[in-house]
């Protein structure tokens, strides 16, 4: 398998390529999101560049570096942040747990709908490099 993700200058990239397939997560140091889970999808993150720290609901922590991955079941609450000096680039591969459900549905720790682009998730406008890609 070979995957590429367009490099970014700034902002948060959540470029989706196909339903129930894969997309990239591109963040710079300090970028993070809020505690949530995807109730209709199991997914795995694979770090292509940089390092991430993943946190559970009780502040359990795991640092993941280049070539390493983190599996998230549909029942797992988590949040993550970029922690390395270089931009964090992760490949996210997911599989829906129900055939007709919204596989990217998010809920917060109270079970309420959670928009991934909402202010609490620290959305930053995306600016891509013209001809630079991560592989």
Nearest to 54 by CA among 26, 94, 81, 25: 81
- Domains of the chain, with CATH numbers? 34-93+104-122 (2.60.120.10)
Phi/psi of residue 63, each to 5°? -95, 135
For 124, the 3-state DSSP assignment is coil
pTM here? 0.74
Chain centroid to CA 27:
9
In whole angstroms, give the CA distance from residue 90 to residue 46.
Answer: 5
Which residue, 73, 19, 76, 29, is CA-closest to 49? 29
Q: Give me the tens of pLDDT residue by residue for the chain, a chain 135 residues long.
A: 445 555 555 555 555 434 444 556 666 666 668 899 999 999 999 998 899 999 999 999 999 999 999 999 999 999 998 898 888 888 888 888 888 888 778 899 999 988 766 667 666 666 666 777 666
Q: 30: phi > 0 → left, psi -120 to 50 → alpha, else beta; which?
A: left
Measured between alpha carbons, how far is 26 from 28 in angstroms, rounded to an integer? 7
- What's 87's DSSP letter? P
């Amino acid at each position: 398998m070979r995957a590429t993700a367009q490099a970014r200058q700034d902002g948060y990239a959540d470029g989706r390529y196909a339903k129930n397939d894969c997309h990239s997560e591109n963040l710079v140091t300090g970028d993070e999101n809020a505690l949530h889970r995807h109730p209709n999808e199991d997914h795995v993150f694979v770090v292509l560049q940089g390092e991430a720290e993943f946190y559970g609901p009780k502040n359990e922590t795991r640092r993941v570096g280049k070539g390493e991955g983190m599996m998230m079941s549909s029942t797992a609450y988590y949040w993550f942040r970029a922690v390395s000096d270089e931009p964090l680039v992760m490949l996210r591969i997911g599989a829906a747990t129900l055939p007709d459900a919204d596989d990217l549905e998010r809920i917060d720790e109270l079970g309420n709908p959670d928009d991934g682009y909402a202010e609490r998730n620290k959305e930053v406008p995306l600016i891509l490099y013209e001809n630079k890609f991560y592989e």
